[in-house]
Amino acid sequence: MYKSKTHIALTALFTSLSTLSFSKNNMSSFYSESTFLALIILSVVLLAIAALLFGIKKHLTALNAEKNPQDAEPSLYQSKIKPIIDGWNPTIATMAIAGILLVVLGSFGYKFGMEEIGVQQGYAPTQPINFSHKIHTGQYEIDCKYCHSTVEKSKSASIPSLNTCMNCHKYVKADEKYNGKTSPEIQKIYNAIGYDGDNMQYIEDYEQRPIEWVRIHNLPDFAYFNHSQHVVVGKLKCQECHGPIQEMDKVYQYSTLQMDWCIDCHRERGIDSKNNEYYEEVHKNMLAEGKEFISVAENGGLECSKCHY
């Protein structure tokens, strides 16, 4: 790993600053677009009223001071704040304020920009169903490929369709935890596919709707990634990129998914030239050159159009 210290420090600084901003993705579950708008309008109206009242008060005080000069007392600003500000060096003060603004606003901007281009390590949005990988893969040791069944065939590992869930959840209702009632999370599957958990049968003519999961791993469109290439040809374990998924109650993005992360791995890892006939020639050349190992990078794995097209 060649990550510089400054890089880590910067990332830490910006990440800590950006946690100041409320998590926008969680927000969506509380506010809809329109309530958010209504709240903004309401606060603007309230601010306007406050400003109006303040103005009236100021005006009345001024009138009073005019009539009874003896009553007039110096305002808080006049007596306390103005002397302090007057004491400041104007240049330094302006620069300081501008600096603070730059750092604060800039960090918001940085966070936004990074999310916009998909840099979001640790991203763990709330999902429509509180599905726990810890229970399914950790506790019950269900193979990843049982649900993510296309991982060996396609570029996408694919999220299982509801009928895959129903293979087990037709019977598994976790009702022992809920006084004989179907677990509310499993009930969400039933509601989507139209299954009557009590009578253990599908409901006729039910209007099914899919579960809208929130996508966690967002590669930009200009980067091509293929799961089958890495799992079948590269023989990687899911955990090598996705982390200790069997321990996650709520899935988060384990890796950075940034290009340097891809490249580091391509530099370190070798290709399995011995056991794949496609690499027969590569293997022969390798032995001829007296090498025992050839990295993905050496085999052209760093060339732009291997991933960008």
Binding site for other proteins (CB under 8 A): 21, 24-25, 27-28, 102, 105-106, 108-109, 111-113, 115-116, 125, 150, 152-156, 158-164, 192-193, 208-215, 218, 220-224, 226, 228-229, 232-233, 275-282, 285, 300, 303-306, 308-309
Smallest distance from other proteins to CB 152, Å: 8
Please work out, in degrees rounded to the nearest 5, the angle formed at the alpha carbon of residue 25 by the alpha carbons of 217 and 238: 20
Closer to other proteins by CB, 51 or 102: give it: 102
Write the CB contacts of 98 (distance below 8 Å, at least 6 apart in sequence). Answer: none
Closer to other proteins by CB, 107 or 137: give it: 107
Closer to other proteins by CB, 166 or 175: give it: 166
Smallest distance from other proteins to CB 288, Å: 11
Q: What type of residue is 47?
A: L
Smallest distance from other proteins to CB 149, Å: 9
Smallest distance from other proteins to CB 153, Å: 5
Cα–Cα distance list, 54 to 57, 152, 162, 187 (Å)? 5, 68, 59, 54
Cα–Cα distance list, 21 to 18, 119, 241 (Å)? 6, 16, 28
How far is the C-alpha of 166 from the C-alpha of 191, rounded, in Å?
A: 12
Cα–Cα distance list, 290 to 94, 270, 274, 286, 293 (Å)? 66, 15, 14, 6, 9
Smallest distance from other proteins to CB 252, Å: 15
Closer to other proteins by CB, 260 or 280: give it: 280
Is residue 197 within 8 A of residue 189, CB to CB? The reply is no
Smallest distance from other proteins to CB 275, Å: 8
At 223, list the tokens: 């980067």
Closer to other proteins by CB, 48 or 159: give it: 159
- What DSSP line would sit under 266-290, residue for residue? HHHPBP-TTT-GGGHHHHHHHHHTT
Smallest distance from other proteins to CB 100, Å: 13
Is residue 195 within 8 A of residue 203, CB to CB? The reply is yes
How far is the C-alpha of 278 from the C-alpha of 142, rounded, in Å?
A: 32
Closer to other proteins by CB, 11 or 299: give it: 299
Closer to other proteins by CB, 110 or 178: give it: 110
